[in-house]
A and B are shown apart, each in its own frame.
Chain A
């Protein structure tokens, strides 16, 4: 494992632990719980919820895909430029 990875683990693990413990504390204070539907009872909807749910999930997916796409294209460009520069510096030193 590189130093970088060790570093990341050293930072992110405590962060995750902190967030989860905060979550635990907050969860105790929750005054309105989610109550699961008793089995056998069917849903009664007024405002159609399906488009809202669909939009929410679609947005998350689209946002992730767009970001990953942009990230990889930026990364390719940067690595190409880096390889280019590396050969130039090697040539100028030779």
Chain B
């Protein structure tokens, strides 16, 4: 488990450099004609949103594997992934309204994507609460939640869009013109590399915690 001790600092280093360079890369993109300066939020908002989605998927897959094989590392991965999903989800739900305030005039709008993100965010938080306060045996329960959560994503998307059929849709994910694509992908890459580093660190911590519990148990004998 310690052989990736060189990978983590490397990933962290790259991520830090990319984040530091981000303002300059973003600056190369042209301003958006109708939204102006505030559209700049998009570059980090997209990175956080994609990372949150990826993390949610990772959690779902790891949960399914844990339910099938009861492998401890699958459980650690799922838990780490959910925590990071909540972290990046919080960023999405804060940067989103800040952008919306200027772009749409209101802090919150029941726009399909923002609403769907909120629902999934609540699910991730529910997972964390279950893990924290559910007592012994909550790994299996939360794995079931993780699995259901992953299966839920298409339904949330469909039902929220159906819920909003009577209102005009505004798209947050547009077709990007080339000069905006590069900074967007750059920020996205920065987010994902950082995510990977944090995931590895968090997993290591979970594994250490499990070892501590096991050690306490063996000491008692």
Contact = CB atoms under 8 A, between A and B. Distances in A.
On whether A and B touch (CB less than 8 Å), the answer reads yes
Interface of A: 1-5, 7-8, 11-12, 14-16, 18-19, 22-23, 26-39, 41, 43-45, 47, 49-50, 52-53, 55-57, 59-61, 63-64, 67-68, 71-72, 74-75, 78-79, 81-82, 85-86, 88-89, 92
Contacts of B219: 85, 88-89, 92
Interface string B21-36: 0010000001111111
* Chain B interface category by residue count: 35 or more
A2 B33 contact: no
Contacts of B91: 59-60, 63
A3 B72 CA distance: 13
24 contacts: A2-B3, A4-B1, A5-B200, A8-B77, A8-B199, A26-B173, A30-B174, A34-B32, A34-B177, A36-B30, A36-B177, A37-B36, A45-B37, A49-B36, A56-B41, A56-B98, A57-B23, A59-B91, A63-B94, A75-B201, A78-B209, A82-B215, A89-B215, A89-B219
B169 to A, nearest CB: 7
Q: Which 3 A-B pairs have the closest CB atoms?
A: A15-B57, A49-B38, A30-B174
A6 B74 CA distance: 12
Contacts of B211: 82
Contact of B208 (A4, A5, A29, A78): A78
A31 B174 CA distance: 7
B164 interface: no
A11 B58 contact: yes
A52 B189 CA distance: 24
Nearest to A66: B87
Contacts of A3: 73
Contact of B77 (A7, A23, A35, A75): A7
Given A57-B41, A74-B205, 15 more contacts: A7-B73, A11-B77, A15-B61, A34-B174, A35-B33, A38-B33, A49-B38, A49-B102, A52-B38, A52-B102, A56-B98, A56-B99, A82-B212, A82-B215, A85-B216
Nearest to A79: B208
A12 B74 CA distance: 12
Interface string B88-99: 001100110011
Q: Is the interface of B mostly helix, strand, loop or mixed?
A: helix
B1 A33 contact: no
B143 to A, nearest CB: 14
Contacts of B147: none
Interface in B47-83: 48, 50, 53-54, 57-58, 61-62, 65, 73-74, 77
Q: Is the interface of A mostly helix, strand, loop or mixed?
A: helix
A87 B37 CA distance: 58
B202 A71 contact: yes
A15 B31 CA distance: 32
A89 B95 CA distance: 49
